[in-house]
Amino acid sequence: MKDTTVIDSREASAALSDIEDLGRRVRQSQTYRRASSMLILWGLATFAGYLISFIAPPSARVVWPGVFVVGIGGSIIIGLLSARRSGVSTFDTRMFAAFAAFIAFGCLWSVGIGQFTPRQLGAFWTTYFMLPYVMAGLWFGWVFVAIGSAVIALTLIGYFFAGDWFNLWMAFVNGGGILLGGLWMRRS
């Protein structure tokens, strides 16, 4: 026997809306998974960089470039594996250009014009990166606004009051804050 079930335009519209909502949630979940992996990587690398800088301060000049190589290289690998797994390339040249401009601007001010001390560099780069973290939280969830704002506030407290313990303080504040954001995003 032939099924003569017919849906009206309201039901069809609702079904299409449900399908669109499901697709949006799947894309958001994939984005969160990729971003959480990158945040966890950067949180651990940053924690290690500050911890090594605390234990052996002269090694900081070698450690931090290594942190950046590990972080950038790991982020590229995570992106490539994610693209292979999902079958969709997520590389966005505009996002890459924006990130490169962001880094170049930070380098111009922190190294070129500012001539910051190591302590000032630690405070500058942490607060500099946490501002877009806070702004991204307006789209991705208020927890990022809270984490980013807390990291900025704790960085400033550490800058003024942590004394010789600043790098250890920053290992937990900066590395821990990024890691916490990645773990929270993984749960979402």
Q: What is the mean pLDDT of residues 110-131?
A: 87
Please state the length of the chain. Answer: 188
Please name the helix (run of DSSP H) or strand (run of DSSP E) that holds residue 13, with its range, or none.
helix 9-55
141 DSSP assignment: -
Residue 126's nearest CA partner among 172, 75, 162 is 172
For 105-132, b where at least 16 C-beta lie within 10 A, e where not — what string? Answer: ebeeebeeeeeeeeeebbbbbbbbbbee
- The CA R_g of the chain, rounded to the nearest whole Å, is 21
Q: What is the mean pLDDT of residues 44-60?
A: 93
pTM of the model: 0.77
Compute the C-alpha angle 79/125/70, nearest 5°.
35
Q: What is the mean pLDDT of residues 58-68?
A: 90
CB 121 within 8 A of CB 155: no
- The string of pLDDT tens digits covering residues 80-97 is 887 777 666 666 788 778
**How is the chain split into domains, by residue range?**
13-187
For 11-25, b where at least 16 C-beta lie within 10 A, e where not — what string? Answer: eeeeeeeeeeeeeee
Q: Is 115 helix (H, G, I), strand (E, B) or coil?
A: coil
- The string of pLDDT tens digits covering residues 137-166 is 888 778 888 888 999 999 999 999 999 999
Q: What is the pLDDT of residue 153?
A: 95
Distance CA 78, CA 32 (A): 12
pLDDT of 4 over the 80 cut: no
Distance CA 17, CA 131 (A): 35
Q: What is the pLDDT of residue 187?
A: 74
pLDDT band at 20 (very low <50, low <70, confident <90, very high): confident
